[in-house]
Amino acid sequence: MENKKIKIGLIGLGTVGSGVYKTLKNFDNIEIVKIAVKNKNKKRNIEDFDESLITDNPYEVVTNPEIDIVCELIGGIDPAFDLIKTAIKNGKHIVTANKELLAKKGEEIFNFAEENNKVILYEAAIAGGIPIIMPIKTILAGNEITKIEAILNGTTNYILTKMDMQGASYNDVLKEAQELGYAETDPTGDVEGFDAAYKITTLATLAFKKRIKIENVYREGITKVRTEDMQAANDLGYKIKLVASAKMDENGYADVRVHPMLVSKDSTLAHIDYVTNAVSLTGHPIGHITLSGPGAGEFPTASSVVGDILIIAAELGKTDYLLPMMRCNHQEHADMIDISDTQNKYYLSLNAKNNKGVIGNIGNICAECNISLESIVQKNVLENNTANITVITESCLERDMQNAVRAFQDSKFINSVNSLIRVQNVL
């Protein structure tokens, strides 16, 4: 196929699709044959755009006999799932940026691709422009990766960074992020942690070589993080980030989750700000590495999509079994740890009556729940004769911490539990 142009079909011409179109125009060996869009009449911000390529029927792309590679860039399950299966059935290799589809239907779709001897590449689905899938599959293939800590959502990282830098409230920064286009009109997928959960599900499956089920991934968003928590974290030597983490313990159990976390100012993730993403991997023999860069956007994400296209294009016609290293070849499901059985340190913010015995009461409740305290700080007494108290615990069971929270809510000394945020365990 050296002298033959590789024929591409695009499904979706939004932000990422436009970046892919513009980038592929620079390659003489690539030809875009058909592009499926929702609205054929929408004005495109693309110079010298060939309108004849457009269709509003995506099945014209996935069944087109000319097309070698189908690029799915619309996201979601329906109709993307059926379109990809139809494309595979019709002899197409697939490049996708669809993190939700991979997290929820990955096992089915990869098995289907293998049955039909087709390749699915998905570098853009995890961390935008940051190369992470290819490195894990190739240059890091000799490593046993045991831990991932990552910032995988630019919207939430932007919001938390602005709250930290400006002392602004969550609601104010969210509104600003929406006006700037960093957050959707309905930001639920980002701020409630769904987007990061989809990404860490696929990333952990890849790194641990065992399938992770999305329904077993603990997820908590950033909507309850307060400006006061940001200030308290800074005073204690931390930053608050939405961290997607995955860890494989010595017994082979996986702990995969997304939630806000106090990360040490000495850690790399503490300095990943605004819309930047980062993935930190721990394994043997590599030790510890971090890859960071733009996690979203037109050209960063297009960079990963186009890279995948070119990888497949380079192999077409040279072998009957393309890219064996990049294929999904693990069938075993990981045993998962429930969040209640995990060990964590915690940051706890309480509002208490300014009475004698309050600190003692907090200490007693923690002791009764098998929790040791690393620090407890009471700052100013407020005008209503209450005090805000900040507690950092030693590592303890999540189940015990939740029991303590219930006991605080029932205590006559405690007015409210303002915040409970897990703290990064630095080993």
- Give pLDDT tens digits along the chain (427 positions): 456 899 999 999 999 999 999 999 999 999 999 999 999 988 888 988 999 999 999 999 999 999 999 999 999 999 999 999 999 999 999 999 999 999 999 999 999 999 999 999 999 999 999 999 999 999 999 999 999 999 999 999 999 999 999 999 999 999 998 988 888 899 999 999 999 999 999 999 999 999 999 999 999 999 999 999 999 999 999 999 999 999 998 888 999 999 999 999 999 999 999 999 999 999 999 999 999 999 888 999 999 999 999 999 999 999 999 999 999 877 899 999 999 999 999 999 999 998 888 999 999 999 999 999 999 998 877 878 899 999 999 999 999 999 999 999 999 999 999 999 999 986 5
Instruction: Give percent helix, percent strand, percent coil of the chain, each to the nearest 5.
Output: 35, 30, 35
How does DSSP classify residue 4?
S
In angstroms, the CA 216 to CA 258 distance is: 11
Cα radius of gyration rounded to whole Å, the chain: 24
341-423 — its CATH code?
A: 3.30.70.260
Q: What is the pTM of this model?
A: 0.95
Each domain of the chain, given as residue ranges in start order, spans 6-128+298-326, 133-294, 341-423
How does DSSP classify residue 142?
T
- Residue ranges of E strands in 61-143: 69-72, 93-96, 120-121
- Residue ranges of E strands in 135-222: 144-151, 218-219
Spelled out in words, what is the top-level CATH class assigned to the domain 6-128+298-326?
alpha beta
With beta carbons less than 8 A apart as the criterion, state whether 131 and 291 touch: yes
199 has catalytic annotation: yes
- Give me the catalytic one of 105, 199, 247, 345: 199
Cα dihedral 191→137→101→110 (10° resolution):
-160
| CATH assignment of 133-294, among 3.90.550.10, 3.30.360.10, 3.50.50.60, 3.40.225.10 | 3.30.360.10
